[in-house]
Amino acid sequence: MEKPKSLTELQTKMNQIITVKKHQILAKKPVEKQYLNYTDFNDLCDAVKQSYCEYMQTTEVPKPIEAACHLALAVVSPSIWIRIKHLKMAIALLAGLAGIATILSGVAIALGWTATVLDTVVAFFVGGAVFGPIVLVVGGIGLFGIAAYFAYAAKDPTDLSDKAEATLRETLKKTIAELWEVRDFEQK
């Protein structure tokens, strides 16, 4: 498989992988269950990671790609405890990454967060000075408060699935752009 020649080509290929895998999963489901659940998103994320490695001819999934998958899984997690597990993994994987705000802005777009919420979550991830809603961290609630920002209060599983998919697509778009920029810098 030939490496993509441009950032746009790679982003397009990854979006196609998500679309194709989603349709493969949904084709096996009855009409009343035409949405992706947590298990389906695990399969979708596995396809994304495998495809990225194939396209970029690498054996190791970059940490930001892994983190993007954990952020999407946090949205669709069936419980707060599983959501917290995915957030902890994303935090660990994104630690020290310069573009963390850019990547998290993908989540903000997908979930419709305000700038204040985005600033709060970014501050939590990077450990910066915190004000406003992030006071939850100071109060000891910390990860539970941030997990609440990732919870999408939809009763409709289709809507929840759509939000998690949008999170995956947006965070991958931002993540891949960050990785492409680093790749270009290293090649110079």
Rounded to two decimals, the pTM is 0.80
Place of tokens 């289709």: 158
Q: CA–CA separation, 171 vs 174, rounded Å?
A: 5
Q: pLDDT of the chain along its 188 residues, tens only?
A: 678 999 999 999 999 999 999 999 999 999 999 999 999 999 999 999 999 999 999 999 999 999 999 989 988 888 888 888 888 888 778 766 656 677 777 777 776 766 666 676 666 665 544 444 444 444 344 445 555 556 655 568 898 898 889 889 988 998 898 888 876 555 55
CA-to-CA dists, residue 182 to 64, 176, 179, 187, angstroms? 12, 10, 5, 9
Residue (of 80, 78, 81) closest to 161 by Cα position: 78
Q: CA–CA separation, 147 vs 108, rounded Å?
A: 14
